[in-house]
Amino acid sequence: MKKNLGVIPAVYPMPVLIVAAYDETGKVNAMNAAWGMICGMDKIALFIDEDHKTTQNLLKTKAFTVALADQAHMDAADFFGIATGNKMSDKFERTGYHAVKSAFVNAPIIEEFPLVMECELAEVVQTENMYAIVGKIANVAAEEAVLSDKDKVDPAKLNALIFDQFQHGYYVSGEQVGKAWNAGAGLMKK
């Protein structure tokens, strides 16, 4: 029997996305965003507040990067979520991390995270119920250490963080338990 829990954001897993953008002077700012999802073969939607420093920066530069946080960099990923660039001018510098300019968009790539999507601002969707940044993915770059022998990202090597909204924990993904477009194929024959 199910127990009623009320109204809570009951989606699991949630990604741990690190969104980075330059300000008008070329300074790096980054934030942790769990509310984001691929919304097309070449698009990502980020459901982030308009008042974030990173949001304001990417609106000005029309570009940003989205990295998948991994277990090895959990401390900085969490810090990017609890510190605000609106109040902490040296937020990025405090991590000791390094950024290089993307060759595809006017945005920083944080070198420590193993996978990054380099995005151009496609549109801002603002309704009574939602504020979303939609990015057109110009390139995806990954460290060779997280690739399979066929140059595909290997989730078991990536150790991507998953955010748990129920108890506010971080978990790691990676174990394959089935094959998509195959696990349910037997039901097609009924």
The contacts of residue 41 (CB under 8 Å, 6+ apart) are none
Asked whether 36 and 187 are in contact (CB, 8 A), the reply is no
pLDDT by residue for the chain (190 residues), tens only, comes to 999 999 999 999 999 999 999 999 999 999 999 999 999 999 999 999 999 999 999 999 999 999 999 999 999 999 999 999 999 999 999 999 999 999 999 999 999 999 999 999 999 999 999 999 999 999 999 999 999 999 999 999 999 999 999 999 999 987 888 989 899 988 988 7
Give me 181's structure tokens: 């477009």
Burial of 59: CB neighbours in 10 Å, binned 0-12, 13-18, 19+: middle
Residue 77's domain comprises 14-189
Please indicate, yes or no, whether the overall pTM of this predicted structure exceeds 0.75: yes
Residue 145 maps to which CATH number?
2.30.110.10
**Into how many domains does the chain fold?**
1
